Structure 1
Amino acid sequence: MSAGSVQRRSGRSGWRRLLRDGEFRSGAIVLVLFGLVAIFADLLADPDGLSVVKATGGALEPPSWQYLLGTDADGRSVLTLVVHGTQITLLVGLAATLISMVLGTVIGVMSGHFTGVGGGLLNRFTEWFLVIPYLPLAIVLATVFPPQVPKLLAVIIVIGVTSWSSTARLVRAQTMAVAARPYLERARALGAGHWHQMTRHVLPNVMPLVLANTTLTVSIAIIAETSLSFLGLGDPLRISWGRVLDMAYSGGVISQGAWWWVLGPGVAVVLVVRAFNMCGRALERILDPRLEAR
């Protein structure tokens, strides 16, 4: 049996085990529901409801059959804000994670593969990012970002370039483990170059780890977007869950006792982050069976 056939059979077996995992199924269901909300947001809630001048409710109306999550200080339905905020929050989380995964994978593979000065410098660079507090660094970068760049794009880039270091560390360790395996030694003996070794042998072996870490990084990116938006560093022209929380705090939600204004976006953030973490933990168990015994 060829190595490719063994790999495909192993992949199918892992996928079946993943689908049988109750934690993964629960997390995936939540993520699918929020994904559908993001895709069909315009059908689920009228976009005109985001406009202050087209608000139909009274200021800070409590939850009712007409407004299930109540209204904000401008009379807009909080449910409408949460539904449309799903698009921006998930977009930022997924796009920033993509940047983080690409940077972390490339730097991790290179720092683990090259054992000389170049690999050492990349490792020191990764450690430098690891020791710097994540959120303060993101706040500083978001503040000094050139004003010509669209705010939403700036937030995506800031979160992406500040969250890759942990991925790089994991990938580097896996790359060094792969480098000691016999088939890579044979490839070097046959004259395979660095590019061939990294792309044909190292990268396929680290991708399962990257995939498992991706689901965990998305939750970090969503929390970062919510934090930056809550601090007023997000895009003021677009509604996200963090932006709704920022407007609620600025509108005196505590003094007004309008708990429903923060309930919707707060619960949405918790559910999505928890769902991504559940899927990530399930993937870790599939990739490392020793975790199932814990």
Structure 2
Amino acid sequence: MKTDRTKPSAEAPAGETAKSAATSARSVAWARRRRAAAQFWRQYRGHRSGLAGLVILVLIAVLALAAPLITGSDAQSVTDAPGTPLEEPSGEFPLGTDQFGRNLLALLLWGARVSLTVGLLAAFLTVAIGTLVGITAGHFGGWYSTVIMRITDWFLVMPTLVLAIALATVMDKSIWTTVIAIGVTAWPTTARLVRAQTLAVESRPYIERATALGGGHRHIMGRHVLPNVMPLVLAQTTLVISQAILTEATLAFLGLGDPMIVSWGGLLQDAREAGAVSSGAWWYLAPPGLAIAVVALAFTLCGRTIESVLNPKLGVTR
């Protein structure tokens, strides 16, 4: 009878011990992640160029999000334009007006919302496709890797802009068309980089031990390969965003964007159609062009700094 009484009391602490051990393991993992993030931030803020790029991006993102509060919801309206067409910069209109008399400063803030959104979504799609192709090609190898890499090489030798223009031409003019056109044409570089990193990771001894212990393809790729290639993917993402913003501006400038929305490339297209170059309306051309250049430069600075922090051997200057 004494033994029966002691069995439940012995099993209860065992369950509590297992539960506390799992909780402790999770807390240790989160503590490591917090320390790694804190260490990354300490190293990142030591690079003045990367910090300047981050400040610029945060400022532009805040202004873009606050555009409805700063300019009002009717700033894009053609019928309720507050000024006269192609009015020079003044106290009322710091950046002048466009061909319809709309405030160019307000249009610039609204255009930032579209350009940043397209850049982020297109970069996410590009990196997602490139990461999937690179990891699977590096992991499986054989005929699959040969075929998928030949397709990747074909996309690499073909001009990305030409392919994006072809897709944007045959599809409906919308923001999603631009995202898809950029995403499905700009992934090969990421795929190449991720495949090379995957091959390096899978040559390590712990991958062989995980395979010998019964780890399947999904376990190896998801639990071992992906976490090790994520730093490279993160650095590549910031660089791809700047390329996506430039490509979106080019497509919009060529008239392949959505005519119903305001973007920086669309503003350049409107300026060209309004004859801003011949009429000397520099305030119509300069602000959106400078905005595109500044944002692309800021993302590039952040990307190079992240790459330098994650791979100190590069020796990027601060």
Per the alignment, residue 49 of structure 1 pairs with 75
Report the 3-state secondary structure (helix = DSSP H, G, I; strand = E; otherwise coil) of the residue aligned with 1:20: coil
Q: CA deviation at 1:221?
A: 0.3
Report the 3-state secondary structure (helix = DSSP H, G, I; strand = E; otherwise coil) of the residue aligned with 2:79: coil
Q: 1:81 is matched with which residue: 100, 107, 114? A: 107
Q: CA deviation at 1:176?
A: 0.4
Residues 159-178 of structure 1: pairs in structure 2 closer than 5 A:
159-178=182-201
Residues 197-276 of structure 1: pairs in structure 2 closer than 5 A:
197-276=220-299
Q: 2:118 is matched with which residue: 71, 92, 105? A: 92
Rounded Cα–Cα distance in structure 2 between residues aligned with 1:7 and 1:75:
52
Q: CA deviation at 1:46?
A: 2.2
Rounded Cα–Cα distance in structure 2 between residues aligned with 1:153 and 1:293:
36
Structure 1 residue 125 corresponds to structure 2 residue 151:
yes
Per the alignment, residue 206 of structure 2 pairs with 183
- CA deviation string 1:243-275 (max 9, x = no partner): 000000010011110000011111111111010
Rounded Cα–Cα distance in structure 1 between residues aligned with 2:300 and 2:259:
29
Rounded Cα–Cα distance in structure 2 between residues aligned with 1:127 and 1:178:
23
Per the alignment, residue 62 of structure 1 pairs with 88
AA of the residue aligned to 1:173:
A
Per the alignment, residue 21 of structure 2 pairs with none
AA of the residue aligned to 1:109:
I
- CA deviation string 1:86-133 (max 9, x = no partner): 111111000111111110110010011111111211111111111110
Q: Which runs of 5+ in 1 are unaligned?
A: none
- CA deviation string 1:12-53 (max 9, x = no partner): 322311122211210011000111111111011123221111
AA of the residue aligned to 1:97:
A
Q: Which runs of 5+ in 2 are unaligned?
A: 1-24
Per the alignment, residue 158 of structure 1 pairs with 181
- CA deviation string 1:139-167 (max 9, x = no partner): 0011012x3xx611111111111111111
AA of the residue aligned to 1:138:
A
Per the alignment, residue 51 of structure 2 pairs with 25
Rounded Cα–Cα distance in structure 2 between residues aligned with 1:37 and 1:159:
25
Greater shift, 152-161 or 229-238, is seen at 152-161
- CA deviation string 1:175-222 (max 9, x = no partner): 000010011011111121111100010000000000000000000000
TM-score, normalised via structure 1 length: 0.95
AA of the residue aligned to 1:208:
P
AA of the residue aligned to 1:291:
L
- Per the alignment, do residues 7 and 188 of structure 1 end up closer, same or farther by CA in structure 2, a change over 3 Å counting? farther
Q: CA deviation at 1:233?
A: 0.1
Q: CA deviation at 1:11?
A: 4.3
Q: CA deviation at 1:284?
A: 0.9
Rounded Cα–Cα distance in structure 2 between residues aligned with 1:13 and 1:155:
37
Q: Is the 8 A contact 2:242 2:296 kept in 1?
A: yes
Structure 1 residue 101 corresponds to structure 2 residue 127:
yes
- Per the alignment, do residues 202 and 266 of structure 1 end up closer, same or farther by CA in structure 2, a change over 3 Å counting? same
Identity %: 48
Greater shift, 73-82 or 284-293, is seen at 284-293
Rounded Cα–Cα distance in structure 1 between residues aligned with 2:316 and 2:307:
13
Report the 3-state secondary structure (helix = DSSP H, G, I; strand = E; otherwise coil) of the residue aligned with 1:255: helix
AA of the residue aligned to 1:137:
L
Per the alignment, residue 278 of structure 1 pairs with 301
Greater shift, 270-279 or 72-81, is seen at 72-81
* Aligned length in residues: 290
